Amino acid sequence: MMERNWKFVKKKDLMFEKALGRVHHWHYHPEIIKQADSYMVKVVMPEGGGHNFHVHPEMHEILYVLKGTAEQWIEDEMQILEEGDSVYIGANVAHGTFNAGKGELEFLAILSPPEGWEAGTVDVSENAPYSEYRPRI
């Protein structure tokens, strides 16, 4: 039987992951849809929380802010992103996302290509120059 090239994912079918105080709501993940060309996760970050400087060695990422205020670092540049703002981050580019507002920060992260999944996420927040830009959370 031919494998379908689409998949509906209902809220009840999401895969949840708790990571360093953040809650990840995976809509598309290698365990959910194996033939996907990209993955998508909604991240809910508590007030004062963040994802320290890191790289995805073999995947690019698009972040789209759904709610709240993000302090978004890309290498040595920082911008404040709010609802409706987004950023594209190429593979192996250091970045960090921090909740800079009141209440929760919610954003979508879309990662691609799937072949880069195995290389994972590498924390670089203790390495110069990133350790000098912002304290780790």
Instruction: Identify the helix (H) or strand (E) that includes residue 63.
Output: strand 60-67
Q: Do 116 and 58 form a contact (C-beta atoms < 8 A)? A: yes
Distance of alpha carbon 119 from alpha carbon 106, whole angstroms:
25
DSSP code of 23? Answer: E
Distance of alpha carbon 38 from alpha carbon 97, whole angstroms:
20
Residue 2 pLDDT exceeds 70: no
pTM of the entire predicted model: 0.88
Which residue type occupies 10?
Answer: K
Residue 33 pLDDT exceeds 80: no
Residue 99 pLDDT exceeds 90: yes
Distance of alpha carbon 125 from alpha carbon 110, whole angstroms:
22
Q: Do 16 and 83 form a contact (C-beta atoms < 8 A)? A: no
Ramachandran region of residue 132, left (φ > 0), alpha (ψ -120 to 50) or beta?
A: alpha
pLDDT band at residue 23 using 50, 70 and 90 as cut-offs: confident
